[in-house]
Amino acid sequence: MNTITLAKQSLKQHEGYRQFAYQCTAGKTTVAYGRNLQDKGISEAEALYLLENDIVECLQDLAALFKCWNTLSEYQQAALIDLRFNLGAKGFRTFKKCIAAIEAGDYTEAALQIMDSAYANQVGKRADDLANWLQKA
C-alpha cells in the first residue's frame, strides 16, 4: 500500500463522512471528510467536478420526466437543465404549465410560463435567457 492510500484510509476512519455541512470541534464550517470550507473552501476544479455531477443528475431527471427529451434542441435541453438545477427537482415540478407546454411542443407558452412566475422576478436576466433558449429549435 502506498502513502496516499494509507492516509486516505486513516482520514476516512478518523474524520468520517458527512454529506451536509456541519460545525467541526473547532467551530469551522466543514463538509465531507473534514474539509474546512470556512478557511480552505473548494478549488475551481473541485467546483467544476461538482457542477458536472449536478448537471448529469439534472439531465437524468429531465430525460426521465420528459418523453420528448431527445427531440428538444441543445438550447432547450440546456435551458431546462439550468432551470432544474436552480429550482431543484421538487421546485422544478411546480412549473406544471411550463412542463405541459414543453410536452405539447409549445415552447413559446413554456417561455411565457417561466416569465410569468415569481422565479422570473427573483432571477431577472437568467429567466430571460432561459425563456429565449426554450424557443430556440
Tell me, yes or no, whether 64 and 128 share the same domain: yes
Tell me, yes or no, whether 59 and 32 share the same domain: no
Quote the pLDDT of residue 20.
97
| 39: DSSP letter | T
Contact call for residues 33 and 12 (beta carbons, < 8 A)? yes
Hey, is 34 helix, strand or coil? coil
Residue 29: give the domain boundaries. 3-36
Residues 6+ apart with CB under 8 A from 11: 33, 34
Quote the pLDDT of residue 100.
98
Tell me, yes or no, whether 50 and 114 share the same domain: yes
Confidence of residue 54 (pLDDT cuts 50, 70, 90): very high
Tell me, yes or no, whether 51 and 12 share the same domain: no
Tell me, yes or no, whether 31 and 48 share the same domain: no
For the chain, percent of residues with pLDDT exceeding 70: 100
Mean pLDDT of the residues in the chain: 97
- Structure confidence by residue, pLDDT tens digits, 82-92: 999 999 999 99
Confidence of residue 65 (pLDDT cuts 50, 70, 90): very high
Contact call for residues 94 and 74 (beta carbons, < 8 A)? no
Number of domains in the chain: 2
Judged against a pLDDT cut of 90, whether residue 16 lies above it is answered with: yes
Hey, is 117 helix, strand or coil? coil
Contact call for residues 77 and 137 (beta carbons, < 8 A)? no
Confidence of residue 1 (pLDDT cuts 50, 70, 90): confident
